[in-house]
Structure 1
Amino acid sequence: MKSSRNKGRPPLKTGRRIKKIDARFTEEEYTQILEMEKQLGISKTELVRLRVLNNAANIVINAAELIGHLDAIGTEMGRAGNNINQLARHANMLAKQGQLSPALIQENNRLLERWVSIQLSMEAALRKLIRKMST
Structure 2
Amino acid sequence: MRNRIGKSKPLSNEQRTRRFELRLSEAERGQFLELEKALGISRADIVRVRVLHHSKRMLLNATEMMKLLDSIGTELGRSGNNINQLARHANILQRQGVLTPALIHDLTPLLGEYIRVQRELEKTFRQLIRLIRGQT
Q: TM-score when scaled to structure 1?
A: 0.82
State how far apart, in whole Å, the 1-side matches of 2:71 and 2:90 are. Answer: 29
**Over aligned residue pairs, what C-alpha RMSD do you find?**
2.1
CA deviation profile, 1:50-106 (whole Å, cap 9, x unmatched): 222234344322111111111111111111111111111110000001000112113
Distance 1:13 1:125, change over 3 A: closer
Q: Which runs of 4+ in 1 moved over 4 A?
A: none
Q: Which residue number corresponds to residue 5 of structure 1? A: none
Amino acid at match of 1:123: E
State how far apart, in whole Å, the 2-side matches of 1:72 and 1:63 are. Answer: 14
Distance 1:12 1:72, change over 3 A: closer
Q: Percent identity, aligned pairs only? A: 47
| Structure 1: stretches of 5+ with no match in the other structure | 1-7
Which deviates more from structure 2 when the two are superposed, residues 25-34 or residues 123-132? 25-34
Q: How many residues align?
A: 126
1:1-135 mapped onto 2 (5 Å cutoff): 14-135=13-134
Distance 1:66 1:13, change over 3 A: closer
- For the 8 Å contact 2:57–2:131, the answer to whether it is kept is no
Q: TM-score when scaled to structure 2?
A: 0.82
The 3-state SS of whatever aligns with 1:64 is helix
Structure with more relative contact order (C-alpha pairs < 8 Å, separation 6 or more): 2
State how far apart, in whole Å, the 1-side matches of 2:14 and 2:94 are. Answer: 72
| Structure 2: stretches of 5+ with no match in the other structure | 5-9
- For the 8 Å contact 2:39–2:61, the answer to whether it is kept is yes
